[in-house]
Structure 1
Amino acid sequence: MATYVLIHGASDAFYWHRVVPLLQDRGHEVVAPDLPIGDGDAGFADYADAVVSAIGHRSDLVVVGQSMGAFTAPIVCQRVPVELLILVAPMIPAPGETPGDWWGNTGQPQAQRELDEREGRDPDGAFDVVTTFLHDVPDEVVAAVLDHGVPGQSENIFAQPWPLEQWPGVPTRVLIARGDRLFPLDFARRLTKERLGITPDEIPGGHLVAFGHPDSLVDWLESYRVEILG
């Protein structure tokens, strides 16, 4: 049995609500804390504090970071003993990089624009959460997500430099989504290779795979766990 530590992105732990019971059904303990994303005074140290506090004295840790959670997850790996780090549709940071600078540094805006144009969407149109994030999610889950609401992410964190000088010495795996409209497939492949020197694995679905494809996501998480932890 392992302890899965699930770190959300610019949202809250509701993101993992379809994944948590599936991991528990496989005999694992699951920790899925809410990060203080609405606190304008909170930095990455505070985000990591929230995760470490939730972990407590648990061991055999598999840390999973979704999207912007990829900024927090490696910091946690330097704070507590972690067996495996898994990044899902991640914003992979570079040392000293702020989340605000990440977009331009990586070329994400141009990659998203080109994908929108290829697929017939207006890249200059008004943002629509369903079109960008929930296009592959079952209707009943979309309704639950919209009813739950999207917590407000403080803008302050986007000016905070990522504090690590290098990637932690923890086995790392990256899982990207083939239908991701925020981080297009070719962009995500390139980013993973450039920043971590590894080839990512690919899963069907959009950016929020835990909403749209929780069973497939858990299968991948478990395959990584078996590979590393046995």
Structure 2
Amino acid sequence: MRNRPAVQNSPLIISVQSLSSIYVGSAEVVELQEAERHRTSAEEGTRRFKLDFANKADSLQRQIEQRERQLHQLETDLKIEREWRQTLQNDLDRERDTVAQLSTEALQINGLKKEFHRLQDENIQLKTICEDQEQALEELGSKLSESKLKIEDIKEANKALQGGQVWLKDKEASHCKLCEKEFSISRRKHHCRNCGEIFCNSCSDNELPLPASPKPVRVCDTCHALLLQRCSSNPT
């Protein structure tokens, strides 16, 4: 066989080889750049993920802390609510006891009120009886006094008649002999045991013993002055 002559590297071949080398190098550079971009993008994604995760973690932590504070506040409010309910229950129990006691006292008061009304009715009845009896006693005393006065008047009239004195009758005098004031229920008639005339109490509020009566008896002011004058002028 005939040997082919060795092909020498021509400039064209060198250029193609150079271009191939450049192309291969460029492809590697592109791949490296693409890998770098992917790495950078991945790192950026990772950084963003970490940042987002950290933000979410902080947000969740804040939410957890807020929930814990709310839970603590709710527990405190619940405790206060329970204590308040217990206080209300205690107050309600005391009010019930008070109501029961007041009901018992009300029943006792009603019983006492009925007893009071009964005693009041009895008191009214007894008072009426006492008033009737007092009125009867007053009437009896008045009649007794009138009887005594009539007896005294009769005695004095008899003494006056025996001594020659005039004894004026009650119906014959309507005014006081001395002050001339009219007789009434409050202004009673009184006989002077010396002259026998009729006077009011103010004009006959004197007592002296008389010859017909050693015991001091009622005399009018005029007779009183006259008798005292006689006694002073005749001491024996």
Q: TM over 0.5: same fold?
A: no
TM-score (ref. length: structure 2): 0.19
Structure with the bigger percentage of strand: 1
Q: Determine which structure has more spread, i.e. the larger CA radius of gyration.
A: 2
